[in-house]
Structure 1
Amino acid sequence: MSKIDPELKKKLLKESQAPFKGLRKIVWIAFSGSAFLGLFIMLAKIASGNELQLNNLLIQLCACIVFPTLLFVDRNKD
């Protein structure tokens, strides 16, 4: 009855269940990279003797945990 290729139909159904998955993956990678770069810079400042507020360091550490976790949770389960 349907003239759509079964493989295409399967791909379209998968995309409709999880839209923008590729874009989300790129965003999680970008945010993770930014969080780790920020943490590296903060640790370099601490090593050079500058003072940092503990709140800022904790926020950066949480970002370094949350964004890679979101990337891991959003992965393909195939």
Structure 2
Amino acid sequence: MAPDSRSSLDPELRARLLQEAKTPWRGLRRGLWLAFTASAAVGLATMAMRSASGDVVPASDLLIQFGALSLFGLLLWKDRNLSPDIER
């Protein structure tokens, strides 16, 4: 790389490219974590409504939904961007 080629790159673009190199596929991962978290929340809410209406909902099903909600919520929280300067 020529010494002047680094300076010809827009600093904002360079920062975004460096961030993407440090955390590849972050946008896709966060989208998946969000979709899975929302799915678990909808499933848990559905089971809660079924239980409130008098249907029997197995405790194992509730535990699975609660576990999924906790797991994917934690993954979504851990994958957040604390600061652009912090290296992971």
Structure 1 Cα separation of the partners of residues 57 and 17 of structure 2: 49
Question: With structure 1 as the length reference, what TM-score do the two structures score?
Answer: 0.89
Q: Which runs of 5+ in 2 are unaligned?
A: 84-88
Q: Which runs of 5+ in 1 are unaligned?
A: none
Moved segments of 4+, more than 4 Å:
none
Question: With structure 2 as the length reference, what TM-score do the two structures score?
Answer: 0.80
2:45 to 25, 36, 40: 40
Matched length? 78
- 2:27 alignment partner in structure 1: 22
Structure ID, larger Rg: 2
1:1-78 superposed matches below 5 A: 1=3, 2=6, 3-78=8-83
Indicate the RMSD between aligned Cα atoms, in angstroms.
1.1
* Percent identity between the two aligned chains: 42
